[in-house]
Amino acid sequence: MDPVDPAFGRIESFEEGIAPAPPTAARLERIEKPVVVRIGKDIEGTLDIANPRDAVWLDIMRSLYAAGRPVYVELDRSGRITQFLQPLEQPVGEMREIENGDVQVELVLSHAVHVLRRSHPQFKQLQELLRDAQRDGKLVWVIETPDSHEILDVR
């Protein structure tokens, strides 16, 4: 699996039709209809809107951009957006350790069971952010996998 770089932030702009670099070992496929998405000041990712998944992602990203909401993306080495998730701003309810050392997290505005895995490389930092938000009654942005509700990041 190729390494990915996660990025979180607000979209600054979209640039359609910019010709990407030619295919390389890192980018084996050709991008037919490129759209460059600028996130914050330093991050650029590319979508290919000839790909139906990327076209849907672009529509959702445009809506989030218009609403001033942040996005979470993962980029491969070529700068291609390989994952797109919508962070949710949530108050943190109860947190409890479960038998395998993972932490089950109640996000007040959700009925799902959310889990912070002990194996997450930033487990302690994310757990601390969640505990601080719980204690102070503050909202946090939570990024999680769509199906298993595994917490990936907290801001």
**CA pair distance 57, 9, nearest whole angstrom:** 16
Region 5-85: CATH code: 2.40.50
Q: Which tens digits make up the pLDDT trace of 15-70?
A: 998 655 554 544 446 778 899 999 999 999 999 999 999 999 999 999 999 999 99
In the chain, residues under CATH classification 2.40.50.340 are 88-154
**CA pair distance 154, 62, nearest whole angstrom:** 23
Q: Which CATH class is domain 88-154?
A: mainly beta
pTM of the model: 0.84
Q: Which tens digits make up the pLDDT trace of 67-89?
A: 999 999 999 998 999 999 999 99
